[in-house]
Structure 1
Amino acid sequence: MKMIVQSVATLMAVFALSACNGNNADYEVNDKNCAPDHVRTLPEDAKRDTLVEGCMTR
């Protein structure tokens, strides 16, 4: 019983944490996301910098 409760708690934690990163599709390196108009709509942060770097090196 204890093992089941721990497994359920672990799954709930994983789902909760994965929900926080729902906008990762905006930061994947592809033609759409590398368009200058799209990059300008993103907040200036480390994820945007990583996207720009990825777009420049592909």
Structure 2
Amino acid sequence: MNHEGYRDPTADRAVRKADKMPKHIRKIFDALNTVVSVQGIKVTEITDKHTGRKWKL
């Protein structure tokens, strides 16, 4: 919503896109969870060492 209370589809799309986990990060999550699930472990968070951004499932 903008300051007048109307929907702002451009801003809405930008926020959704910024919050969405990139496909390459999702593939890493899936691969790691496939490997560690054999031992009953689940990966729930990954941190990007370069940006410091944390991705959670």
Normalising by structure 2, we get a TM-score of 0.37
Q: Point out the structure with the larger strand share.
A: 2
Bigger Cα Rg: 1
| Greater relative CO, 1 or 2 (CA 8 Å, sep 6+) | 1
Q: Point out the structure with the larger helix share.
A: 1
